[in-house]
Amino acid sequence: MSDATLGVVRRLATARGFRHLTRFQPLLRLSFALRASVVRERLRFVANELRRRPVTAVYRLRDSGVAVAIRHHSGDVLVLDEIFSQDEYEPPEPARAVLEALSAPTVADLGANIGLFGAWALGRFPHATIVGVEADPANAAVHRRTIEANGLGSQWKLIEGFAGTEAGVARFAGGEYATSHADEREGAIDVPAVDVFPELENADVVKIDIEGAEWDILADPRFPGLRPRVVVLEYHEEDSPAVDPRNAAENALRAAGLDVIHAGSKPHFGAGIVWGLARPECSPQDDADRVTEHS
């Protein structure tokens, strides 16, 4: 199935009059099966998605050959589509230039989920060192399968814990796939909380997607002292220190000495993505001129 056909299916899934059809399980399974276009084992992917019972399986990405583990009948399939078909993390031009100058970067992945951003980074930088931090035990188990499938135990490390600013215990709503998050309500579980700053100190690339917990990290006085080449941040309305979370995210990155590029909003999720780039030392242009729209 072509990427163009998959694009039509995505648009129909959100169109008025068609949206309710996604509640019909056979059609939903068929829609998910179309995501097979991003892996090399397409027939096996389709068969696993259409089977009655869910299964976790490992595939090789179509373009890079990096292995990924996916839980079928789950939101994992949609995240796979977002990253490797919709190119959610495709860097805007200025960020691409910075990334292309790196050969074997250290990548810190906060909110590492099942390891798909790590797989994206490995496809771009085969010699990268990757450190993922993931609090949801179910997500972490799948992430470990991805690491094992690539045979990169020494190159790719996973820390099972909540990405925070101090060690301790965090209350967490797990089992929600990519949207698992910190939560004090009944039914939450206790997970280890990790001070992530020691992992960020030497990182060249930092990705942050932790469902509202990013604000504590951005506000920590140690954050401006970090020296990453690239930060890719998914900001959320949840716990935003300002009415407009986009402005809050951009201001935090600029305060840390980074140029800012807005790479798109996700209104349905109250979220968006911004890239922060290390500033050239010889470029004293005013901050107000540095925020660029990228579509």
pLDDT of residue 291: 46
The whole model's pTM is what? 0.85
pLDDT value at 149 more than 50: yes
What sign results for the dihedral spanned by CA atoms 215, 220, 222, 225?
A: positive
Alpha-carbon distance of 240 to 246, in angstroms, equals: 9
Encoded tokens for 63: 């373009």
Q: Which amino acid is at 166?
A: E
pLDDT of residue 267: 75
Contact 246, 215 (CB under 8 A): no
pLDDT of residue 179: 65
| Average pLDDT of the chain, as a whole number | 86
Lowest mean pLDDT among 26-35, 177-186, 205-214: 177-186
* Angle at CA of residue 75, ends 139 and 78, nearest 5°: 120
pLDDT tens digit string along 68-104?
999 999 999 999 999 999 999 999 999 999 999 999 9
Domains of the chain: 85-293 (3.40.50.150)
pLDDT band at 286 (very low <50, low <70, confident <90, very high): very low
Distances (CA, A) of 266 to 82, 118, 192, 238, 245: 12, 22, 29, 13, 12
Alpha-carbon distance of 282 to 278, in angstroms, equals: 12
